[in-house]
Structure formats: C-alpha cells, structure tokens
Amino acid sequence: MKKLAFLLIFTALLCCACNGDSPSPEDGVQKEVSAEQLALFSGYTVTRPDITDDTVTKAAIKLRDELGLTITTDWVKRGDPVPEDGIEVLVGQTNRSASVEALAELSGYRGNYVNDFIIRIGGGKVVITGGSPSAVSEGTDYFVEKVLPTVDEKMLSEGFEYIGRREYAVETINGVSIGDFAIYLPKNASEELNTIAAEIHDRLFEDSGFDIPVLDREGNTKAGIWLCVSDYGEGKKALDELAAYRENCINDWMFRVKDGTIVAVGFDDIGMKAALEKLIDCAEGLLGGKNNNDYIYRKDYKMITLGDKSIKDDSSLIEKDATCEIRSAANKIQTRIREVSGFELPIVTEPAENNIHITISGDLQTGALGFDGSDLVVSGGHYMSAAKAADEFVSLMKEDSDTELKSDFKFTKVYDFSTVPLVCDRYPEMQLVWNDEFESTDGTYDHNKWLQRAQMGATDMYNSKTERNVKVEDGNLVMRSWKEEDTSISDGKPYSTNMSMTTRDSCNYCYGYLEMRAKVPFGKGCWPSFWMVQREDMRNEGVNWMSEIDIFEVFGSKNALVPNIHKWYNSTADNYHVQLDGNRKTAYKFENFENLSDEYHTYGFYWDEEKMVFSVDGEDYCTIDITEETGDFGQYKGMDGFHTPNYIILNNFLFTPEASWVPDGAMVDENVKYPVTYTVDYIRLYQGDNGVMYSPILGESMTDK
C-alpha cells in the first residue's frame, strides 16, 4: 500500500479548511490594556482544571501574566462540594458550573464542536472554554487580544458572550455526517495500515471537527469506512459475496459505497492495494458529495491442467524436514498458480489425493519434472537443483494462455553449481544443507532465511531495520554502522547499526562445517561478530544454561579476532554467565593488516561430537574440546549444552560511550571513519551424517539430516 498516495484523499481535498473568527486584533494592531482595566480584575483568581493538557496550562499562565493574578486549580476533596462563590477567571473545562454550562452551549449546537470556543463574562466569573485544549488556547488568545482591551465595569456587571465556531471544509462523506462514521481495520492490522488509519482520523478530526473512532472490531456506529477488513462486519460480507460468485476468487477485490458504508477489500495484499487505490480515485465525489458506487474486479483466469485434471484439487507437498529453499519453492508455485488460475493451493506435509510433490531425489545437480500417477513430482538430488526444477515449473505457468501438462510430460536438466559447491571442499563427506549467496536484485535479504531481532544493545545505539543499515547489494549482504548527524532517523540516539541478523526461525543446527566469506571491519570502535546462540526450546533436559558460540569477535582491534564459548545460566547469582578462560582459546592475528577491512577472507567453523575448530582462509587456529570426559570449562563443569542446535547471528556493533562493556582502548573516537561496513559475500553450512537441522518456521520437529 502506498501510504502517501492514499493520504491524498485527506490532504489535497481537505487542506482548504479555514478558521472562522480570527483572534488577531482589529486592523492588525494590538490594543493597549489600561491600568484601570486591569484594576477591574482585582480580587479575581485564574483557575484551571486540576488535571489537564499542557496547552490549557500554558493558556492559564498567559492569563495570569496578562492580568497580574495568582493561579490555582479546581481541585476539591472527594465528596466535598464544588466552590461556586469565588471570583474567578475559569480556563478550560473546570468543574465550576459556569464552565459546565458554557461548554454545554457549545456541544448542544453541533456535534463537531471540538475546535469551537466560548467566552462568557458575568456573575463574578470570566469563562474561557472550548471543545479541545487547542480551542481553549485559541479562546484565550481571542480574549487577551480582542476582549480584554474593551473591558469596562458595564461589561463585568451586565455580562458578555462570544462564541468562535470553526468553519469546516467538509461535514459529510457520501451525504452522511462524518460524525456517524468509524474507521474499521482488520484484527492485528499491519503497522502501515494502522498508520494510514491514524492519518485519516487526524485529518478528518482537524478539518471536520469530528473525532471518529478507529476500531478493529464491529462497533455500533451508523456508518463506516472498512479498510482491508476480511474477518468481520461489512468487510467480511463483501468478501463472502465475492467468494460465493466463483471458486477461484483469490485475486478478486471490491470497492463499494452505499450511503454510509464504504468498503475497500480484497483477498490478498495485491487486491487490498488495488481496492484502496480505487477508493483514492473516487474520494473527490465522496467528501462533501454523494456518489454510491459498486465496483468489483474479477481477473480473467487461465486454465491449468495437470495430467488431465484441473489444478484446483492439487496441494503442494513438501517433506516435514524441508529446507528453506524447498519451502520457498513451494511458495513460488503457490503464488504463480494463484496469479494465473486464481486457485489457492495449500502447502502440506502429508500426502493428499493430488499433489505437486517437491522432493529431494536423483543426481545432485539434476532437476526433473514428471508425473507419478496423479502427482506431478518436482525433484532434484539437492535442494538447490530441486528449487531450480520448481522454477522451471513456474515458468511453464503462462498468464497469456491456458497451460496443459499431459501425464507423459517429462523434463530433466543438469544445472551448473560450480560457483556454489554442493559438496564441501575441506570436508568431502559433507553436503551443503543451508546457504545464502545474497543474490537479490531488489536490495532486500531473504526473509525466509533471516529474522532481524535485538540480540545486542547500548543506550546510545539505535538498532535499525532500514536499508541505511542493512541491505543486499552487488551480491553481498552489507551492514553499516553510523555516527548520526540527524538523530531524528535514529530514535534520538547518536549511533545506529543494523538489528542482529539471525537464522532463529530457519536454521538451528548442530555439527557440521559453517563457512562465511566476508570483509570484516577492523579498527578502533569496531565490534563485528559472527556467532551463535541456543533457543530455549533447544536445550537438553536438565541443562540450566544457554550456550553461546562466538566464531569470532573483533574487539576494536586492527588485526585480531577472538573465538569463544559461553554459558548463560538461568540463575541471577554471581555465576549467571561464564566463558572460557584465556588459556583455553586462541586468537587469530593477521600479519598484513594495512587494508584488512577492505579484504575478503574466509572464516570457518567445524563442529562435531568432540571438538570445535576455528579457521581463517583454511588455516585452523583454535580447537576447543567439548567432550564431557576431557572438555575443560574450568570450575563450571559440563559440556552437554554444546551438543544441541544453535542459530547463526551477524552483528556490526560499535563500542560506543554508553555500551554496557568496552575493552580497554576500544571505544570509538573522532578518527573512526563512518560508515563502518561489514560485507558478507556468502554463508554456507555443510553437514554429514551426524548433522542435525531444525527450522521452527516450518513447524517441524528436530530431524536428522
């Protein structure tokens, strides 16, 4: 949804709203208030509500200063009567009867009185109140600039009243009072949709004076604007009507206006967006006018036939332990079939009667398509070749003509994976089981593989998800940290970095060889890391600590990186966190480091039942024993937690002044060149027969590979 385009409804069309009576002095000149006029208010007190908006408080202070009076509040002890006999200047919606009666006159005249104000003088009271704090402020200005210079004894004794009523640009939507409307949203609406609704509400509030509710459930309002609602009320009724017309309705959408009912709905994001754009096109005829409209879009679908049967009865079948690439392939097939035929194929892990079965079988580099009975089998000897075969199937699904694959259809192709070895060069007994080559062309990372979440923090560091801090470009994942000149983009904080990139929901693994090729930033202030931690649901029974494996961290060094393993205990006692002593781990130091931050190097991590081995450019430099018998964690015994799955994390943090911990001499200084950039070419995980993989996003159990 294009937020800015959508908001044109309530900006361009409503910006002509104007005020009625201006509080500016006649002839543009402020009249002087005489000492005699100020003396008339001797004995008065400025009284404001006990609990009120700052705007009202400032208005009361202005009156105090202009009149030379003291200021108090209308507070009374619970159960005590409200004092009514005082001589007061009442500002805002106080509990005095004079304020209540004046406000009743405003609200009784019209429903959208939020910007109206009233000034009353008489009976020892000066009342300045309004339908909102801003209206009270406007009324105060009017009193000071126009009324006060004209006050005399006659006005105070005989009384005075002035009402300022805002002239609004619009009063109705499609002929129905705006005050009768609510804006309805889906339950659990997206942040973007909530923002759009808030902008609409605020614009209508400002330019019509009606404070209409924004709801995510059906209310009792007479009229409603239903934005992308599919699960209740008029939105659900509209979608039910679309669905009743034909079975393959997934791409259909509706824009409907009938008096006080405005509905813009669709079955998917594309349809929702199109319905909102139609609303934009018709907005001019709705605001202040009337234009009932019933527009239904139904896509002209093509027929897809697999093995002499319609595709509408098929499912996409994947294994329970399917990799991210196989899941992505199923999503691609599902999306393409929805676009072409309008049918929504479910993705299942248990065989149904008719399946498009995506499976791993055959030669590693060969992808194939063919029928097995009523099933169309999409296969490859590796998840990458199977995903390539799925792409071939997607390309057969044409939007410009019907597609028919007969039961004797066959396709095979040998793919070239020379740039991504499917078998590990260092450990030939292992095959590639998870990888990311960062080949996106639109700047975004693969959301099926990476979840951004806060794994590190500092009070002066903004953890960002924006492309300024993390994006894919030129075949690399690029993470950038900045010292921000404009802190409005960093939540007021002076430094920003990317939120931790994690595989928490896609790749939790135990045992294998993990390899990353990257340009890692070295130097003062730099704290890049390549590490892993354990989900709570991955702990072995009886283990009361979480494992952390640091493949490397750079602690503000110009040439050194450090591996480590940690235990994070459940207890908050002094031993809640422990790590290996320095004599049980070995750092790596680059001999040539003049251009180190601009150089690609390969960082490896081997893990099996007995040990962890850390390497740079194929050179093993640190080995840690993780056996129960000989593994040594000092006084904190036990290695059990280092034999369960962990997920991968990438950080490009900085040692800032407010970081919770800073090594000696590592803090950023004026010589740091920004952005500090961490560039990843690829990450690949290879496993053998002992490897374990767990992908919670697929809802599967832990499975051996």
- Which whole-number Å values give the CA distances from 227 to 190, 210, 517, in the listed order? 12, 19, 46
How does residue 15 score in pLDDT terms, banded at 50, 70 and 90? very low
* Helix then strand then coil, % of the chain, to nearest 5: 25, 30, 45
> Could you report the per-residue pLDDT of 400-450, keeping only the tens digit for each?
889 999 999 999 999 999 999 999 999 999 999 999 999 998 999 999 899
67-86 burial, b for 16+ CB within 10 Å, e for fewer?
A: bebebebbeeeeeeeeeeee
C-alpha span between 627 and 306 (Å, rounded): 54
Is 167:18 a contact under the CB 8 Å cutoff?
yes
Average pLDDT over residues 386-394: 96
C-alpha span between 103 and 82 (Å, rounded): 17
The pLDDT mean for the chain works out to 90
In 3D, which of 274, 330, 346, 337 has the Cα closest to residue 302? 337
SS3 letters across 368-409: EEEEECCEEEEEECCHHHHHHHHHHHHHHCCCCCCEEECCCC
C-alpha span between 236 and 263 (Å, rounded): 10
Is 702:321 a contact under the CB 8 Å cutoff?
no
> Could you report the per-residue pLDDT of 622-681, keeping only the tens digit for each?
999 999 888 888 888 889 889 999 999 999 999 999 998 899 999 999 999 999 999 999
User: Tokens 């975004």 sit at which residue?
Assistant: 444
Is 483:668 a contact under the CB 8 Å cutoff?
yes
SS3 assignment, position 515: strand
> Could you report the per-residue pLDDT of 457-475, keeping only the tens digit for each?
889 999 999 999 999 999 9
How does residue 700 score in pLDDT terms, banded at 50, 70 and 90? very low
* Model pLDDT, residue 573: 64
> Could you report the per-residue pLDDT of 204-250, keeping only the tens digit for each?
888 898 999 999 999 999 999 999 999 999 999 999 999 999 999 98
How does residue 14 score in pLDDT terms, banded at 50, 70 and 90? very low
- Domain topology for 431-698: Jelly Rolls (2.60.120)
C-alpha span between 553 and 556 (Å, rounded): 9
- Per-residue pLDDT at 163 exceeds 50: yes
The C-alpha torsion from 58 through 61 and 63 to 64, rounded to 10°, is 170
- Per-residue pLDDT at 295 exceeds 60: yes
> Could you report the per-residue pLDDT of 563-579, keeping only the tens digit for each?
999 999 887 666 688 99
C-alpha span between 684 and 417 (Å, rounded): 14
For the chain, the structural domain boundaries read 3-10+171-297, 26-164, 312-414, 431-698
Domains 3-10+171-297 and 312-414 share a fold: yes
> Could you report the per-residue pLDDT of 88-100, keeping only the tens digit for each?
999 999 999 999 9
Q: Which range among 17-21, 108-112, 336-340, 650-654 has the greatest average pLDDT?
A: 650-654
Q: Which CATH superfamily is domain 312-414 in?
A: Chitobiase/beta-hexosaminidase domain 2-like (3.30.379.10)
pTM higher than 0.75 for the full model? Answer: no
For the structural domain made of 3-10+171-297, what CATH number should be given?
Answer: 3.30.379.10
* Model pLDDT, residue 538: 84
Q: Which two tokens stand for residue 575?
A: 């031993």
Q: Are strands 512-519 and 692-694 parallel, antiparallel or unpaired?
A: unpaired
DSSP structure class, residue 429: T
Assess if CATH 3.30.70.20 describes domain 26-164. Answer: no
Is 116:135 a contact under the CB 8 Å cutoff?
yes
Q: Which two tokens stand for residue 411?
A: 């396709």
C-alpha span between 38 and 311 (Å, rounded): 87
Is 42:231 a contact under the CB 8 Å cutoff?
no
Neighbours of 162 (CB within 10 A): 16
Average pLDDT over residues 6-10: 44
C-alpha span between 92 and 136 (Å, rounded): 6
* Model pLDDT, residue 7: 47
* Model pLDDT, residue 162: 97
Is 618:627 a contact under the CB 8 Å cutoff?
no
Backbone Cα Rg of the chain = 34
* Model pLDDT, residue 575: 66
* Model pLDDT, residue 188: 87
* Model pLDDT, residue 695: 79
Angle at which helix 133-142 crosses helix 54-67, to 10 degrees, equals 20
* Model pLDDT, residue 697: 63
C-alpha span between 602 and 615 (Å, rounded): 8
Question: Does 675 sit behind a cis peptide bond, omega within 30 degrees of 0 on the bond before it?
Answer: yes
- Per-residue pLDDT at 296 exceeds 50: yes
**What's phi and psi for 651, nearest 5 deg?**
-130, 150
> Could you report the per-residue pLDDT of 245-290, keeping only the tens digit for each?
999 998 899 999 999 999 999 998 889 999 989 988 888 788 888 8
Average pLDDT over residues 674-700: 87
Cβ partners under 8 Å of residue 4, min gap 6 = none
> Could you report the per-residue pLDDT of 60-73, keeping only the tens digit for each?
999 999 999 999 99
> Could you report the per-residue pLDDT of 376-388, keeping only the tens digit for each?
999 999 999 999 9
* Model pLDDT, residue 647: 96
* Model pLDDT, residue 367: 97
Q: Which two tokens stand for residue 34?
A: 């005489």
- Per-residue pLDDT at 705 exceeds 70: no
* Model pLDDT, residue 25: 40
C-alpha span between 504 and 74 (Å, rounded): 56
In 3D, which of 307, 300, 298, 299 has the Cα closest to residue 403? 307
